[in-house]
């Protein structure tokens, strides 16, 4: 039934929503999907995240094959692939970060009761928070990569595999994109074979890790790392402007 699909927090209290907000001891929803987090030290982590994003754009800009594609395909690849590329960048730069759970209902309760907000409340309230479940998936991915001792060349090949994704709907030069991805995969396989005594187990393991990157949520990344410093800026537009602005300067 439709009731059984609802969060327990919605079904276990028959009283009005207002009554629940004002009387719940724990204002946060315990259900994993509803828990929201922000960065514990945004002033530090957001700066490092911005550096990673700029390095991601620089990586793309330095690929001659990328500019052989029509601009529509370039824009599509950047908009659809920047998030997993960014997470790979976090892994390569060893950007670890701590989280702080926020409780929006508690802020609403203070407002309803006309209580004054502390500076901390105002900072938290400036962000809606990112999904704890989504952020945890990202942190799990980072831990796996850090435990795998990936080198700089492997990161470069992996970024090529991620960027040149032929499965994106709307690509005009799909075959060329597929060729570029296959080239990146072949180069990674040859490198792994040479470095690890023709043992392709590592190659398979690393490719397996990439599949978990497909679950990366771009909105979660924007909310967690960039909304505290950029506000409601459209990251897709900002990335393209940065990419072509820097290109024009060369």
Half-sphere exposure at residue 24, Cβ-oriented, CA atoms within 13 angstroms:
24
pLDDT band at 4 (very low <50, low <70, confident <90, very high): very low
Of the listed ranges 30-34, 59-63, 83-87, the one predicted with least confidence? 30-34
Instruction: Specify the pLDDT at position 236.
Output: 86
pLDDT band at 139 (very low <50, low <70, confident <90, very high): very high
Nearest to 91 by CA among 164, 155, 39: 155
Using an 8 Å Cβ cutoff, are 69 and 177 in contact? yes
Whole-angstrom Cα distance, residue 163 to residue 180?
Answer: 9
pLDDT tens figures, 92-122: 999 999 999 987 555 566 666 666 655 545 4
pTM of structure: 0.78
Q: Is the pLDDT of residue 203 over 70?
A: yes
Whole-angstrom Cα distance, residue 85 to residue 102?
Answer: 28
Q: Is the pLDDT of residue 29 over 90?
A: no
Instruction: Specify the pLDDT at position 20.
Output: 58
Whole-angstrom Cα distance, residue 19 to residue 27?
Answer: 12
Q: What is the token pair recorded at 115?
A: 């209580």
């Amino acid at each position: 039934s439709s009731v059984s699909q609802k969060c327990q927090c919605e079904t276990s209290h028959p009283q009005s929503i207002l009554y629940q907000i004002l009387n719940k001891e724990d204002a946060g929803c315990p259900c994993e999907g509803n828990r929201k987090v922000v960065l514990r030290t945004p002033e530090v982590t957001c700066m490092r995240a911005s550096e990673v994003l700029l390095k991601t754009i620089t990586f793309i800009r330095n690929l001659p094959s990328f500019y052989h594609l029509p601009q529509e395909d370039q824009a599509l690849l950047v908009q659809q692939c920047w998030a997993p590329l960014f997470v790979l960048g976090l892994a390569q730069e060893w950007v670890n970060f701590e989280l702080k759970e926020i409780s929006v209902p508690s802020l609403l309760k203070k407002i309803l009761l006309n209580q004054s907000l502390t500076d901390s409340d105002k900072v938290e309230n400036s962000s809606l928070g990112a999904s704890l479940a989504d952020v945890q998936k990202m942190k799990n991915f980072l831990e796996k990569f850090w435990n795998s001792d990936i080198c700089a060349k492997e990161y470069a090949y992996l970024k090529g595999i991620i960027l040149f994704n032929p499965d994106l709907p709307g690509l005009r030069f799909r075959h060329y994109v597929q060729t570029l991805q296959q080239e990146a995969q072949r180069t990674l396989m040859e490198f792994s074979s040479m470095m690890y005594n023709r043992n392709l187990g590592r190659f398979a393991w690393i490719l397996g890790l990439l599949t978990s990157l497909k679950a990366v949520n771009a909105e979660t990344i924007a909310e967690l790392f960039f909304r505290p410093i950029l506000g409601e800026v459209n990251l897709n537009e900002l990335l393209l402007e940065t990419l072509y602005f820097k290109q024009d300067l060369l």
